[in-house]
Amino acid sequence: MNINIGIADDHQLFLKSLSLLVGGFSGFQIVAEAMNGQEMLNKLAQLQMLPDILLLDVNMPVMDGAATTAAVTRLYPTVKIVALSMKDNDATIIEMLQAGCCAYLLKDIHPAELEKALCEIHTTGIYTNDASNVNYRRLLLQSEQKQTLTDREKEFLSLACSDLTYKAIAVKMNVTERTIDGYREILFNKLNVQSRTGMVLEALRRQLITL
């Protein structure tokens, strides 16, 4: 039985080369090609048979990899999505995994390893790739843990978003100023910010507080 593959990448030469490569693997066929996420969504809507696996470039115009992944996951939950990128930084990996990707592959992957990865993803839904996949899942878990706030941290965050000074917040929470310094550093780390203003803006963006 053929494994149907869709590929979206805004670099036409890479798109065509990858299609030829993957289409040449035994049991694989390319059913959709696109140069951005929106174009791929349009093509998926017209297909009689969806791809088993969708390979998505992370950085694309019109609709990038994360937005496309989220849309495909919502509309076509049976499609397994694999991120393709030249980047291997934590933030990009986490973003794509959170959006719904089951694997994250670098574009310099060896063809034999790519074929192995696609077969494993089709069979199991994930790609172990020795320690790499474990590390990706660890990153995702750490990211989720960083976003979880305790009740006291939420209380501090709410007060920090007011016009109270840190000294006044300490009095309000009935703790020492040193404890408040600790809460501040924890929140800076969890929200990945470096200032009180940044903390407020990020808390609003994540809907942790409302004005």
pLDDT tens sequence for the chain (211 residues): 689 999 999 999 999 999 999 999 999 999 999 999 999 999 999 999 999 999 999 999 999 999 999 999 999 999 999 999 887 766 777 778 878 888 888 888 899 999 999 999 999 888 866 444 545 555 555 555 556 788 888 899 899 888 899 999 999 999 998 889 888 988 888 888 888 888 888 888 777 877 6
**Domains by residue range for the chain, with CATH:** 3-144 (3.40.50.2300), 147-205 (1.10.10.10)
pLDDT score for 167: 92
Asked if residues 100 and 106 have their Cβ atoms less than 8 Å apart, the reply is no
pLDDT score for 134: 42
pLDDT score for 96: 83
Angle at which helix 151-160 crosses helix 177-191, to 10 degrees, equals 90
Residue 76: count other Cβ atoms within 10 Å of its Cβ. Answer: 16
Please classify residue 139 by burial: count the beta carbons closer than 10 Å to its beta carbon, then call 0-12 exposed, 13-18 middle and 19+ buried: middle
* DSSP 3-state of 110: coil
H/E stretch holding 103 reads strand 103-106
β-pair type (53-57, 103-106): unpaired
| pTM confidence score | 0.64
